[in-house]
Amino acid sequence: MTRRPPSLLVEVLSAPSRVRLLDLPGWERLLRQANSANVGAILVFLLEEHDLLDDVPPQPREHLEAARIVALRHRRLTGYEVERIRSDLAHLGLPLILLKGAAYAMAGLPSGRGRLFSDIDILVPKDSLDDVESALMVHGWASTHHDAYDQRYYRTWMHELPPMVHLRRGNAIDVHHAILPETAPVRPDPALLRAAARPISGDLGALDVCTLSPHDMFLHSAVHLFFGGEFDQGLRDLFDMHRLATHFGAEPGFWDGLVTRAIALELTRPMFYALRYATRTFGTPVPASVMAAAAAFAPTRPVLALMDALFVRALVPPHPDCAARLDGAAHFALYVRGNWLRMPLVLLTRHLFHKAFVSPRAAEAA
């Protein structure tokens, strides 16, 4: 695998006690890298978990405490918004299945502590999409994409409705019926995901709010990153997987069943990449037997060497301190790859042409 010296941020996320060695310029560099990767608030909770906050000098401690305030407010607002969405959809009789950041936060997982996200993602059956959309619209939610092409793009080919925003509160929601587009060559069965969903324990358990199962949560995080094309927050998403694997890995059966579940959902390749890069970046404690089983789903050696070269440049903080030659080319190549994995060539060509040439002209005319 192509090697690259770890950034200061990666060193601290992997071994938080590293902060004891930092001088003030080091703290400034760490905080700048953390903010660029959208893990500034995650950092304060990580240091708190390891009883390291008292070792932080006053100046950076102020920045960390400010990030904590933002994160706690974000968590409260998320709880309020989830309850409003649950109430808006209650009459449909569907469990509210949260995805990604909202799921981590509401379930009280380590990966949700300090994690900031821009929207709330939910999973519903495809045959309930019209009812869910209508119920949300009645309660003040509206689509943000009014272009006819965008509406068709989402409703015909994608795995979600066009994003919606609440007209009064300004918060966003993504309503998914699957975790990959209709046009992707790999199609995890959404019914399997819904059937294995777990109620959130605690006060919200009685409100029929759920998350994906531990296996599915980890695999969804993997497919979101490694089938996607945008890596500005790739390091944060990889750290999510590290935290999920470390947390759920302590549960009986998690490691024994991960590969089997990935096979059932047709997600063996993103699982392999998630385990490979999490262990090599953060030292995630994955059993050797699981790594060996996952390696059976690796690409050919030439392809893997190429992916190593690309991901080692993409899974870093998007900060000038961490920049290196060819990083931009790697991000572009992964962007093209992400779209290629989600659409056949003819549709991809048409889509990119429309977004590059037709949509800008339509916007100017409007």
pLDDT in tens, 14-40: 999 999 999 999 999 999 999 999 999
Is residue 203 scored above 60 in pLDDT? no
Q: Is residue 3 assigned to a domain?
A: no
CA distances from 278 to 10, 13, 154, 229, 352 (A): 11, 12, 31, 18, 32
Q: Which residue has the higher pLDDT, 149 or 42?
A: 42
Q: What pLDDT is recorded for position 88?
A: 94
Say yes or no to pLDDT of 327 above 80: yes
- Which two three-digit tokens encode residue 67? 């990030």
Q: Is residue 42 part of a domain?
A: yes
| Residue 203 in domain | yes
The confidence score (pLDDT) of residue 202 equals 56
| Residues 79/103, Cβ–Cβ less than 8 Å | no
**pLDDT higher at 303 or 345:** 303
Phi, psi angle pair for 227, to nearest 5°: -105, 0
Please report whether residue 2 resides in a domain.
Answer: no
Model confidence pLDDT, tens digit, residues 207-266: 579 999 999 999 999 999 999 888 999 999 999 999 999 999 999 999 999 999 999 999
> Going by C-beta distance under 8 Å and a sequence separation of 6 or more, which residues neighbour residue 155?
161, 162
Each residue of 81-135: pLDDT tens digit?
A: 999 999 999 999 998 999 999 999 999 999 999 999 999 999 999 999 999 999 9
pLDDT value of position 204: 45
CA gap 66, 45 in Å, rounded:
12
Please say if the pLDDT value at position 331 is more than 90. Answer: yes
Crossing angle of helices 234-248 and 214-226, rounded to 10°: 160
Residue 151: predicted pLDDT: 82
Number of domains in the chain: 1
pLDDT tens, position by position, 148-177: 877 888 888 889 999 999 999 999 999 999
Long-range contact pairs involving 38-41 (C-beta distance under 8 Å, separation at least 24): 38/116, 38/233, 38/236, 39/9, 39/13, 39/114, 39/235, 39/236, 39/239, 40/64, 40/67, 41/67, 41/68, 41/70, 41/71, 41/74, 41/114, 41/115, 41/116
Q: Cα–chain-centroid distance for residue 11? A: 21
User: What pLDDT shows up at residue 206?
Assistant: 45
Stretch 339-345: mean pLDDT: 82
- As a whole number of Å, the end-to-end CA separation of the chain is 49
Mean pLDDT, residues 64-68: 96
Q: Where does the pLDDT of residue 359 fall: very low under 50, low under 70, confident under 90, or very high at 90 and above?
A: low
Q: Confirm whether 211 is domain-assigned.
A: yes
Contact criterion met (CB below 8 Å) for 241 and 315: no
Highest mean predicted confidence (pLDDT) among 140-149, 240-249, 314-323: 240-249
pLDDT in the model for residue 181:
92
| Neighbouring residues of 234: CB distance < 8 A, sequence distance ≥ 6 | 225, 314, 315
Q: Which domain holds residue 288?
A: 8-365
CA 277/CA 242 separation, integer angstroms = 9
Cβ contact 236:42 at 8 Å: yes
pLDDT of residue 361: 60
pLDDT at residue 358 tops 60: yes
71 in a domain, yes or no?
A: yes
Question: For residue 56, what are the β-bridge partners?
Answer: none
| Mean pLDDT over each residue of the chain, to the nearest integer | 91
pLDDT range class, residue 357, cuts 50, 70, 90: low
Whole-number pLDDT of residue 348: 72
For residues 16 and 285, give the distance between their C-alpha atoms in angstroms, rounded to a whole number.
16
* C-alpha–C-alpha distance, residues 236 and 317, integer Å: 9
Q: What is the distance of C-alpha 226 from the center of its chain?
A: 10
